[in-house]
Structure 1
Amino acid sequence: MVLMEEYMVNSCKPLESDLEDKSDKYKETEAAASRAHESDLDSFFKGATNDDSNMEEWLDQGLMQYGCSHYRRRCRIRAPCCNEIFDCRHCHNEAKNNINVEGKLRHDLPRHQVQLVICSLCGTEQEVGQICTKCGVCMGKYFCGTCKLYDDDISKNQYHCKGCGICRIGGRENFFHCYKCGCCYSVQLKNSHPCVEGAMHHDCPVCFEYLFDSRNDVSFLPCGHTIHVKCLKEMQQHLHYTCPLCSKSVCDMSKVWEKLDMEIATTPMPESYQDKKVWILCNDCGATSQVQFHVVAQKCLNCKSYNTRQTRGCQPSDD
């Protein structure tokens, strides 16, 4: 199982693209607040030059009080793609990929291309950095200059993976980067996961969300394919136990096969079907077999799995 970069989301709306469309009265109020904030800042630094506790207190102003449903942070970002302001890239992507947006206008925000942020406390637009250049507030306790990621909630144990090229959560010591698969996995899977090139660089086969930078937990199936944990659980709730991509079993089905053995043994076929044979393909081992037809299921002669499909009936020459 892999912990991805961020947590689950709620829909968000884009923020104002500019401060220009605010009323004059609001501008005056904002300017007055900014001047007062600057005055407080000057007074603070005059008396706190050698006081680390006061400095930390200042940096933590507004901690966990700003942000959106995705991040607690004290800044907003200006999207380089559309020049609009949003709380974070997920807010942008939700707004710009909404079903109500014309198809050709839908797009994602390229996280690494963000150049400008707006301090949530003083409203100053500036280049990407952890500390506001005007009011001196820390805009994110966790900051990554590569991903342009700000987050005040450091309980997620964020870290930047150079192999992935993005930030992930869960603690660097708990994960390793597999260079063949091209992503991070739990250290518990280091010697047991099946290596599949680019295993995470595709969409979830159920919900079609891109798995590589998904905010939801991902499960590695025995066949090597990957899928959201919640999507896998939903499949199992609807009695689907095979991979949506290759149809191999996603868990140990031996108990189910035993029940099918008993059901077939107690369900004799009509006399006209007792000698009917068909060709089957096993989804689990890939073997083809000629077996006796049964309305309940056909069993693979190679691996004894009932996860099979009929490929053709028997012709007279096959007997």
Structure 2
Amino acid sequence: MEGSANERLDFGKMGYGCKHYRRRCKVRAPCCNEIYPCRHCHNEATSMLSNPFDRHELVRYDVKQVVCSVCDTEQPVAQVCTNCGVNMGEYFCEVCKFYDDDTEKGHFHCNDCGICRVGGRDKFFHCKKCASCYAVGLRDNHLCVENSMRHHCPICYEYLFDSLKDTTVMKCGHTMHCECYEEMIKRDKYCCPICSKSVIDMSGTWKRIDEEIEAIVMPEDYRYRKCLACNCTTCILEEYIKTAKW
């Protein structure tokens, strides 16, 4: 390949890759010895295998070999191709074996998470109790739930910790995908699917319900009765409404 060293490094930048990443290399999956554009492509392909016992996921740290997309040379994991001299990824993480040419994502490696994140290191902090990186706006401004990100989204059931989709932290401290959260709200579901606590301010709704209850005149037979469980007239009113013959 002709040109200066810098020209060789930049050759083909953003011109190769898959729907997940723009990069100039592919990875050889050590689990099945097959070559894929990235680990997500591998996981999507293997999850569709007819035999459930053949389905598996690629462990990013186990990758040992990559294939240059420019010259098709297979080689040990490194940033620069040993044959043609191109940068196989403008961003490269030797720990995660991760490459990406789209540096506008603001990649950074979090040692506590053990994986690479996007969005800019200065815009995120690592919460030790939640065991994940959160936006700096949530520092001292969120309810900590131990390992809150190390579980599956309660709506779509995709694992949240290394998901490519944006996530949100609800008032209760539990997490889910932003798009799943928005869809849940559109369907008039206002409580956390995990703990059933309200995810938005419901004080106005509770006030209207209280006003409606107070406006209903209790029949004489029920007026002075109390609920043994919570010592209120609301439960008695609800029972009356259920059994009343209109």
**Alignment check: 8 A CA contact 2:43 2:57 kept:** yes
Q: Which residue of 2 aligns with 1:238?
A: 187
Partner of 2:172: 223
- Higher alpha-carbon deviation: 262-271 or 239-248: 262-271
Does the CA contact (< 8 Å) of 2:152 and 2:160 recur in 1? Answer: yes
- Structure 2: tracts of 5 or more residues without a match: 240-246
2:189 aligned counterpart, secondary structure: coil
Query: Which one of 220, 227, 231 corresponds to residue 290 of structure 1?
Result: 231
Query: For 1:215 and 1:279, how far apart are their aligned partners in 2?
Result: 50
Code of the aligned partner of 1:85: I
Per-residue deviation at 1:58?
Answer: 1.6
State the match for 1:14 in structure 2: none
Paired position in structure 2 for 1:60: 10
The offset of 1:207, in angstroms, is 1.1
- Where in structure 2 are the equivalents of 1:30-45 lying within 5 Å? 41=1, 44=2
Aligned to 2:35: 85
Amino acid paired to 1:166:
I
Does 2:45 match 1:104? no
Between the aligned partners of 1:193 and 1:258, the Cα distance in structure 2 is 26
The 1:274/1:105 distance shift into structure 2, 3 A limit, reads farther
Does the residue aligned with 2:232 lie in a helix, a strand or coil?
strand
- Give the Cα separation in 2 of the matches to 1:125 and 1:256: 62
Partner of 2:44: 94
Cα 1:178/1:101, change in 2 over 3 Å = same
1:274 to partner: Cα distance:
5.4
| Distance in 1 (alpha carbons) for counterparts of 2:225 and 2:91 | 67
Q: Distance in 1 between matches of 2:188 and 2:226?
A: 28
Please state whether the residue corresponding to 2:231 is helix, strand or coil. strand
* Distance of aligned partners of 1:145 and 1:279 in 2 relative to their CA distance in 1, 3 Å threshold: farther
Q: 1:139 aligns with which of 64, 85, 88?
A: 88
Q: Render the CA deviation track for 1:214-266: whole Å, top value 9, x for unaligned.
A: 11111112222111111111111111111111111111111111221233344
Deviation at 1:102, TM superposition (A): 2.0
Q: For the Cα contact (< 8 Å) 2:29–2:36, is it kept in 1? A: yes
Q: Distance in 2 between matches of 1:169 and 1:216?
A: 11
Q: Which amino acid counterpart does residue 78 of structure 1 have in structure 2? A: R
SS of the residue corresponding to residue 291 of structure 1 reads coil
Distance 1:269 1:120, change over 3 A: farther
> Considering only CA atoms, is the larger Rg found in Structure 1 or Structure 2?
1
How far residue 189 of structure 1 moved from its aligned partner, in angstroms, is: 1.2
TM-score after normalising by structure 1 = 0.70
Structure 2 distance, partners of 1:96, 1:254, is 47
Measure how far apart 1:272 and its partner are: 6.4
Change (3 A) 1:177 1:279: farther
Counterparts in 2 of 1:206 and 1:55: CA distance versus 1, 3 Å: same
2:173 aligned partner, one-letter code: G
The whole-number CA distance in structure 1 between the counterparts of 2:35 and 2:225 is 68
| 1:212 match | 161
3-state DSSP of counterpart to 1:202:
coil
Structure 1 counterpart SS, 2:142: coil
SS in 2 for 1:219: strand
Please tell me the residue identity of whatever aligns with 2:86. Answer: V
Q: Structure with the greater relative contact order (CA < 8 A, sep ≥ 6): 1 or 2?
A: 1
Aligned with residue 185 of structure 1, among 118, 134, 138: 134
2:19 to 66, 69, 87: 69
Aligned-CA RMSD value: 2.0
- Per the alignment, do residues 271 and 120 of structure 1 end up closer, same or farther by CA in structure 2, a change over 3 Å counting? farther
Tell me what 1:28 maps to: none
Counterpart contact for 2:17–2:23, Cα < 8 Å: yes
Once the two structures are TM-superposed, the CA of residue 69 in structure 1 deviates from its matched residue by 0.3
Q: Does 1:195 align with 2:144?
A: yes
Measured against aligned partners, the alpha-carbon deviations of 1:4-50 in whole angstroms (never above 9, x if no partner) come to xxxxxxxxxxxxxxxxxxxxxxxxxxxxxxxxxxxxx3xx3xxx6xx
Question: Quick one: percent identity of the two aligned structures?
Answer: 53
- Tell me, what secondary structure is at the counterpart of 1:93? helix
> What amino acid does structure 2 have at the position aligned with 1:136?
G
Q: 1:111 to 1:271 in 2, by over 3 A?
A: farther
Structure 2 counterpart of 1:182, one-letter code: A
